[in-house]
Structure 1
Amino acid sequence: MQKTTQIYGLRAIIEAVNSNEEIDKVFLQKGLKGDLMKELEGLLRRNEINMVYVPIEKLNRLTKNNHQGAVANISPIAFHTLEDLVERANEKEGPALFLLLDQLSDVRNFGAIIRTAECTGVDGIIVQKKGAAPVTADTIKTSAGAAYRVPIAKVDHLKDAIFYLQASDIKIVSATEKTDDSIYDVPFTDSIAIVMGAEDRGITPSILKASDYRAKLPLLGEIESLNVSVACAVFLYEAVRQRL
């Protein structure tokens, strides 16, 4: 059953955080002062929850209720731990297939990627707590419900997740144009985790450096890049092709 995806009001959000609700993002009114606002801001920082300051008009568009200067998006799904994803993958037959999303910010791209991940047998998707696209009603809709079927883990730092995966004998393949290696030259038959970067910036340099492989797609036209969800689909299906 899908949980409510929004709560509003300073005190209500404080209670939600203290109750360990899966909060993806909090919108705070620019310039709003007061003890409750200060308490909420401190609580969000300590729990590393995404928050953004917006004009009151934005909050009014988000909800018609009395928001008191704060609106929070609650995830409609439960998240997993990275350790849980790896353990579950190790229990099944065949090599593991994971997907890491480095600062992907568009919820519809996220939903499309989740849908493809479900279709290609991905064992889990790993995102960073701060800066990643939230799981919203739009994400669920675009994923065609796959968000309820593919386990998703949130981590503090994606680079630490990469080191954990590598220690678990899982190779890291980064999708990037900053390489001479084609996707068709990289082995996908072992246990791997594919890294896809942000729509505008690509993959963080430190994550590229930590990767076992870098691979690019051949682009034969004049446009220099594919939509990230499309590129992700190509990478996942190359893994499927090599494993069949």
Structure 2
Amino acid sequence: MQKNNSPKDFIFGIRAIIEALRAGKEIDKLLIQQDLGKSVLMGELLELAKIHQIPTQRVPIFKLNKITAKNHQGAIAFLSQIDYVSFENILQSTFEKGETPLFLLLDSITDVRNLGAIARSAEGLGVHCLIVPEKNSAQINSDAIKTSAGALHHLPVARVKSLLQAVKYLQEAGLQVVACTEKATQNIYEIDFSIPTALVMGAEDTGIATPILKQCDKLAKIPMQGKVDSLNVSVSAGIVLYEVIRQRAE
């Protein structure tokens, strides 16, 4: 869902950020000076950030100074360029419409261009909701939106505290959860994607976290014939999603 703010919108100053949160502004990430002393206002800000489940990172002051030369008081917040959704609500509405759910979860995809490219394929190939973790995930910024060719303004995106818990919720709701990984013995053409499905894609270097892999119902891989045995994660996502659509069109 699109917002009208500038691609580089951020706010700084403890009080300003507190008031933005109270006004209902959606904040993508909060940076706090790591050696900043405790104060009542800072305690209030951190409590609000916790309530609103905003990813918060402690950083050295020079990083904040690089973002703005103005008096930031040790706090800078980046305004989200999209409105995040509840994947539970999207799932419910998908079933109510009589559609077969197709959800995509991204584990540790930290490159914004990969995220944007995956979102472009996901929106074009009928994914109902993209699910990303609060931490260890690429920020949905202007680069991600540009790479997605604007798809991130149309594709529902949910940000969750725990991907593992999201996987369990989807399973309880009747979806099969398929991890796309080179560790699989089955390939994607052997999986029945005609039923409600959630796909999990992991980073190229670290893959999908072991607890999530163990929780998934099935593991599947893209069969390779060349000497290079792996693909860029955005390319892999497009291939797997197309196989889902191909099966569902039969």
Give your verdict on TM over 0.5.
yes
**2:126 & 2:16 partners in 1: Cα distance?**
38
Aligned to 2:37: 33
**1:17 & 1:196 partners in 2: Cα distance?**
32
Are residue 21 (structure 1) and residue 2 (structure 2) matched?
Answer: no
**1:221 & 1:37 partners in 2: Cα distance?**
55
Please give the secondary structure, in 1, of the residue aligned with 2:116. Answer: helix
Q: Structure 2 vs 1, CA of residues 34 and 160 (structure 1 numbering), >3 Å: closer, same or farther?
A: closer
**1:76 & 1:180 partners in 2: Cα distance?**
40
Please give the secondary structure, in 1, of the residue aligned with 2:186. Answer: coil
Deviation track 1:65-99 (CA, whole Å, cap 9, x = no partner) reads: 43222211111111111221102211334422111
- Aligned AA (1:131): N
TM score, norm. by length of structure 1: 0.90
Are residue 63 (structure 1) and residue 68 (structure 2) matched?
Answer: yes
- Aligned AA (1:53): R
Contact 1:140–1:147 (8 Å) recurs in 2: yes
Pairing partner for 1:195 from 196, 200, 218: 200
Deviation track 1:166-217 (CA, whole Å, cap 9, x = no partner) reads: 2222111111112211112111111111111134321111111111110012
Q: Structure 2 vs 1, CA of residues 70 and 146 (structure 1 numbering), >3 Å: closer, same or farther?
A: same
Mapping 1:167-178, distance limit 5 Å: 167-178=172-183
**1:2 & 1:124 partners in 2: Cα distance?**
22
**1:189 & 1:112 partners in 2: Cα distance?**
24
Please give the secondary structure, in 1, of the residue aligned with 2:199. Answer: strand
Q: CA deviation at 1:47?
A: 4.2
Q: CA deviation at 1:34?
A: 4.2
Q: Structure 2 vs 1, CA of residues 189 and 9 (structure 1 numbering), >3 Å: closer, same or farther?
A: same
- Aligned AA (1:77): I
Percent of paired sites with the same residue:
46
Contact 1:173–1:195 (8 Å) recurs in 2: yes
Aligned to 2:246: 241
Unaligned ranges ≥5, structure 2: none
Greater displacement, 21-30 / 109-118: 21-30
Aligned to 1:108: 113
Q: CA deviation at 1:42?
A: 4.5
**2:76 & 2:232 partners in 1: Cα distance?**
30
Please give the secondary structure, in 2, of the residue aligned with 1:174. Answer: strand
- Aligned AA (1:133): A
**1:225 & 1:66 partners in 2: Cα distance?**
47
Q: Structure 2 vs 1, CA of residues 31 and 223 (structure 1 numbering), >3 Å: closer, same or farther?
A: farther
- Aligned AA (2:4): Q
Are residue 151 (structure 1) and residue 151 (structure 2) matched?
Answer: no
Q: CA deviation at 1:118?
A: 0.9
Please give the secondary structure, in 2, of the residue aligned with 1:189. Answer: coil
**1:142 & 1:63 partners in 2: Cα distance?**
26
- Aligned AA (1:151): P
Q: Structure 2 vs 1, CA of residues 23 and 199 (structure 1 numbering), >3 Å: closer, same or farther?
A: farther
Unaligned ranges ≥5, structure 1: none
Contact 1:49–1:129 (8 Å) recurs in 2: yes
Mapping 1:1-244, distance limit 5 Å: 1-4=3-6, 5-35=9-39, 36-244=41-249
Greater displacement, 12-21 / 119-128: 12-21
**2:34 & 2:18 partners in 1: Cα distance?**
18
